[in-house]
Amino acid sequence: MGDSIQSVLLSYLYQYVVGGIVFGAGIWFGVRTGQLGWRDPVRRRRLLLLVLGLAWFAALQGALLVCGH
């Protein structure tokens, strides 16, 4: 595992770009079906929780990426 940080960084970016497309598609469908949104407080809370969940994993793995180097 003595590989360069670039290879692991590529893994991180690939994961969040490809995963982000899947995640974004889900958000789009959620908005289109009226379950997620910004104006209504319940829909806004759902949207924020989803995005915060993704941010939590991105931050957790990002922090390990920085510390692990």
Partner 1 sequence: MGRIGVLDGAVIVVYFAGVTIFGALLGRRTRSTRDFFLAGQRFPAWLVAFSCVATTVGSYSFLKYSAAGYQYGVASSQTYLNDWFWMPLFLFGWLPIVYRSGVLSVPEYFRRRFDGRVGLAATAVLLLYLVGYIGINLFTMGTALQELFGFDLFTMAALVVALCMVYEMTGGQTSVILTDFVQGGLLLVAGLLVAALGVARLGGLSAFAAALPAGHLRPLPPFDHPAKFSFVGVFWQDAMAGGVAFYFMNQGMLMRFLSARSLRTGRAAAGLVLVVLMPLSAVAVSGAGWVGSALVRLGVMDAGVRPDDVFVTVATLLCGPGLLGLVMAALLAALMSTADTLINATSALLVNDVYRPWVAPGRDDAHYLRAARYTSLGAAAAGLALVPLYGSFGTIYEAHGAFTAAVTPPMAAAILLAFLWPRFNSAGALATLLGGTVLVLASIADPALVAPFSHRVAPAGYGFLRACFGLAVSGALGVGATLATRGRPLPDARAFTIRGLREHPRRPRAGSARRRPATLWLRDDIGPDLVLVPPAAMERLDLAPGDSVFVDDRRFWLGGLRSVRGRVAPWPDAPAADALGLAPAPAEEQRWREGRRVVLERLDR
Under rule CB under 8 A, residue 17 binds partner 1:
no
Size of the site for partner 1 (CB under 8 A): 43
Under rule CB under 8 A, residue 29 binds partner 1:
yes
- Using CA atoms, how far apart are residues 33 and 31, in angstroms rounded to an integer? 5
Cα–Cα distances in angstroms (integers) from residue 63 to residues 9, 13, 35, 60, 66, in the given order = 12, 14, 32, 5, 5
Interface contacts to partner 1, rule CB under 8 A: 1-3, 7-8, 10-12, 14-15, 18-20, 22-23, 25-27, 29-30, 32-36, 40-43, 46, 49-50, 53-54, 56-57, 60-61, 64-65, 67-69
